[in-house]
Structure 1
Amino acid sequence: MADGLTLESVRESLIRQEDTIVFSLIERSKYPMNSPVYVKGFADIPRFTGSLVEYVVRKTEAVHSTVGRYESQEEHPFFPDNLLPSLLPPYYHPKVLHPAGDAININTTIWDMYFNQLLPLFATEGDDGNYAQTAACDLECLQALSRRIHYGKYVAEVKFKESPDGYGTLIRAQDRDALMKLLTCEAIEEMVKRRVEKKAMAFGQEVTLNNTDKEVKYKVDPFVVSRLYVEWVMPLTKLGIANTPLQDRGAVGDSDLGSDSMKLQTRNQLSKDVNELIFGVDMMDTE
């Protein structure tokens, strides 16, 4: 994350991360469910009783930690207790997030969502024996989803810095219900749903030279991708923002906002601004 963090840079990153998520799902769809990958003790691994996919994730994160991956605030390990010290010379990673916000890690929820709810929606039944490849694809999906969902913490930070008087007063009270209401805008969420669905259509369409084939086939059902965002990515992003602790930043109180009508206008504008940002949407874009 660069020092020059702006609303536009965050929005652009969110849109690019949509591409990564769609492509990772397409890669995973090449393999069937391959259920043994998720059975504890299936692989005869010394001193390890978990599943093969857990082993792959743990070992990969451990190796990546030795080259400094998790020194960046953008990265969130699924098994933080398994990380090793970096072997590289220290590199300055700007500390954009508040320390308490940086500590928020909901990867346990993301892990459960991916394996128990999302994966069965697009992985076909069957077993082709490609267990290592399957686990590697699962890892790519997990990392892409984790990065995107946790990026909501950057949204909270940049919006607070851009508008401390308005946004800060809503954080100060730490009213989670009010914050979740602020972060919910059906019009913007519908635009995100349509956008990721179109990306799944564009990236995952089966190409054929048979002009008589009228049925378009997709590697991953576009509806599954839109459902992923509606049911999990967007709600979990908002949850991460609502739980980002910014109350000690000297935010102003409601009395500083003036009249009741001014407070309402401020909240309405904040709701629009924050939703456009957290989902990478410009309301001027109607496509």
Structure 2
Amino acid sequence: MAKYTLDKLRSTLIRLEDTIIFALIERAQFAYNASIYQKGALEFKGATGELSFLEYFLWETEKVHAKVRRYTSPDEYAFTSPLPDPILPPLEFDKFLAPNDINVNHKIMDIYLKELVPHICSQQEGDDRNYGSSVTRDIEALQALSKRIHYGKFIAESKFRSNPKEYTQLALIEDREKIDELLTNKAVERKVLERLRRKALVYGQTLDEEQEGKNIHLRIPVELVVDLYKQWVIPLTKEVEIEYLIQRGQQFAANNDQQTEGFKDE
């Protein structure tokens, strides 16, 4: 399928970089508002004590999105459940990905709450009572991160199709380290981090200085964006890709017994 070449898939990842950076910038304008992340810390209509305000708001948001079939798309993954069935008729999507059950949203949520929000809002500590605005921006950031990280499945599938024999060999013995080596393109990763640093600098400026690039009033720390990708987004994407390739290779072997016989021993 021509639209799933690595170049075209990477163009989608580049576009998602912009979405993520702007989502983080939007969240940074509000205070940390710790109570929205703590179960039972905030009184609101519908509160049960079992969900934080963010969890409640996210679930209600995903219920609406599920009704308009958002999570029937192969590049969208919900954080919450159960969700209602779509009210719109189903769409036919390209059958590019193999069946899989990989969802790392619980890890994305954990990283976001523990590692990102406290740093994003470091200049706006405390409580400004903008709870609805804060969680709305949180949800936008979480959904963008989830889409970007799970999009690794498309990259993995494209790479699998270019080298099914070797990936299947490694999948059959679940050699995650070798799959990682086969997947990794250090040059591409360096370009991603360099591009993110430039984008964060440009997008984060308030443009109140005469010369572009010399603004000292950034709306989000540049290194925060770079570290987000270096420490979390890229490793989590690789985790998704590796697990997908293991499932993909094992499925491929099971469906092509005669063709893959002896792969382990070669």
| TM-score interval for Structure 1 and Structure 2 normalised by the shorter chain | 0.7 to 0.9
Q: Which amino acid is the alignment partner of residue 137 of structure 2? A: C
Distance 1:135 1:208, change over 3 A: same
Distance 1:166 1:176, change over 3 A: closer
Q: Which amino acid is the alignment partner of residue 58 of structure 1? A: W
- The equivalent position to 1:249 in structure 2, one of 244, 252, 259, is 252
The match for 1:8 is: 7
Aligned-partner SS, 2:147: helix
The Cα of 1:254 is off from its aligned counterpart by 6.9
Q: Which moved more, 1:231-240 or 1:169-178?
A: 169-178
The match for 2:195 is: 195
1:271-286 equivalences in 2 (<5 Å): none
% same residue:
38
* Cα distance in 2 for residues equivalent to 1:127 and 1:15: 34
Deviations 1:150-175 (A, max 9, x none): 11111111111233234443333321
* Cα distance in 2 for residues equivalent to 1:180 and 1:210: 46
The match for 1:274 is: none
Please say if 1:231 is aligned against 2:231.
Answer: yes
The Cα of 1:249 is off from its aligned counterpart by 1.3
The match for 2:256 is: none
The match for 1:173 is: 173
Deviations 1:17-64 (A, max 9, x none): 111111111111111101121121212333632111111100000111
Q: Which amino acid is the alignment partner of residue 65 of structure 2? A: H
Distance 1:157 1:215, change over 3 A: closer
RMSD of aligned Cα (Å): 2.2
The match for 1:240 is: 240
Distance 1:157 1:131, change over 3 A: same
* Cα distance in 1 for residues equivalent to 2:209 and 2:46: 50
The match for 2:73 is: 72
The match for 2:183 is: 183
Please say if 1:117 is aligned against 2:120.
Answer: no
* Cα distance in 2 for residues equivalent to 1:21 and 1:164: 32
Aligned-partner SS, 1:249: helix
Q: Which amino acid is the alignment partner of residue 141 of structure 2? A: C
Q: Which moved more, 1:39-48 or 1:10-19?
A: 39-48
Distance 1:6 1:184, change over 3 A: closer
Aligned-partner SS, 1:90: coil
Contact 1:172 1:246 in 2 (8 A): no
Could you tell me the TM-score, scaled by structure 2's length? 0.87
The match for 2:59 is: 58
Q: Which moved more, 1:2-11 or 1:104-113?
A: 2-11
* Cα distance in 2 for residues equivalent to 1:215 and 1:241: 38
* Cα distance in 2 for residues equivalent to 1:37 and 1:111: 14
Aligned-partner SS, 1:85: coil
Aligned-partner SS, 1:17: helix
Q: Which amino acid is the alignment partner of residue 121 of structure 1? A: H
Structure 2 gaps, min length 5: 254-258
